[in-house]
Structure 1
Amino acid sequence: MTTHEPARSREQRKQDVLARLEKDEDAWVATASPSGEPHLMPLSFVWEGGTLLMCTRLTNPTLRNLRSGDRPVQVTLGPTRDVVHITGTATVIPTAELPAASADAFAAKVVWDPRDSGPAYTYFRIVPRRIQAWREANEIADRDLMLEGAWLV
C-alpha cells in the first residue's frame, strides 16, 4: 500500500514553486504551430523579475511557433508527482536587445552563454498568466496558485 504526504497549503506550495524556479535549470516548453501541430522541447531558463527567460536556436520550432502569433505557451517543471505547470505568453527578444544583466544571469545559471554561439540563437521571455502546483490527488483541488498573472496566495 502506498501512503502519501499530507497536502501542502497553498502558501507552502507557492514557496516551493519559487524555490524550484530559482534552483531548476531546465523545463519542458510546449507550443503549437498556427495549424495546431504540437511541439515539446526541453530548454534551460532563468527566473528573472517574475518571468522565465529562455533561449533557443532561431530554427527551433518552439521559436517559430512563438513568433507566429499570440498563442499561449506552457512550461512544466519537475517530476509528475511534484509538478509545476505554467501557462503564459512569450515575447521574442533579439540577443542584441536583451539587457546585458539578463544575458549574464542566464549564462551564469545555465553555464552557457548563447552570445558566444553567434547569431543562430535568440532569447524569449515568458510572462506567467497561470501557475499550478501539485504532488498528489490531495493537492489537485487547490492547485491554482496564480490566475490572470496574479498570485492567489
Structure 2
Amino acid sequence: MPLPEPARSREQRKQDVLDRLAEDTDAWVSTASADGAPTLVPLWFVWDGETLLMATRRTNPTAVNLTPDGRAHIALGHTRDVVMIEARGEVVEGTDLPPASGEAFAAKFSWDLRGRPAWVYLRFTPYAVRAWRESNEQPGRDLMTDGRWLV
C-alpha cells in the first residue's frame, strides 16, 4: 500500500471543499423516512456559496423523506478524498424558486425543471462539514459545526 500524501492544513481542506462544491456536479444524498428506512441516491447539484440546490421527482423517496425533519447526509468524492456534509433540506416548488437559482441550475445542466409539476427542487443548507483523504487527515477533519466554518 502506498504511503499517504502529507496531511493538508485545515485551511487548505476548506478551500478544497469550496472548490469541489463550485466545480463538482454529482453528490450522494442520504435521507431516511419517518420510520427510519434509509435512501441513498446520486443527484446533480449547484452550490450558491451557502446552499446546495438539487432536483428530483416529487414522489421520489429523497423528496418525500425531507418532510419529517429535513435532515440529510451528502457526500462528495471517493473514499480517498471525501467531503461529508450534514444538512437541513427543504422542498422548493419550481414556481417558488428564486429566478437566479433556477437559472444557475438550468445553465449548469441544460435542464430547466421550473414549471414541470412532477419535479421539485431540494435546497440543502449545511450545518456540519468534514473532509479527509487518508487516516493522517482524520484529526481536524471537522471544518464546519453548527453552520459555522471553523477555519
Smaller-chain TM-score range? Answer: over 0.9
Displacement after TM superposition at 1:71 (Å): 4.4
Match of 1:146 in 2: 144
Which residues in structure 2 correspond to 1:102-113 (within 5 Å)?
Answer: 102-113=101-112
Is residue 134–residue 143 contact of structure 1 (8 Å, CA) maintained in 2?
A: yes
Is residue 52–residue 123 contact of structure 2 (8 Å, CA) maintained in 1?
A: yes
State the one-letter code of the partner of 2:137: E
Match of 2:6 in 1: 6
Match of 1:130 in 2: 128
State the one-letter code of the partner of 2:59: T
Displacement after TM superposition at 1:16 (Å): 0.2
Percent same amino acid at aligned positions? 58
Which residues in structure 2 correspond to 1:1-153 (within 5 Å)?
Answer: 1-67=1-67, 69-115=68-114, 118-153=116-151
Aligned residues between the structures: 151
Unpaired runs of 5+ in structure 1? none
Q: Give me the TM-score of the superposition, normalised by structure 2.
A: 0.96
Displacement after TM superposition at 1:141 (Å): 1.2
Cα deviation 1:131-150 (Å, max 9, x = unaligned): 00000000011110000000
Q: Give me the TM-score of the superposition, normalised by structure 1.
A: 0.95
| Cα distance in 2, alignment partners of residues 132 and 109 from structure 1 | 25
Is residue 45–residue 110 contact of structure 1 (8 Å, CA) maintained in 2?
A: no
Paired residue secondary structure (2:114): helix
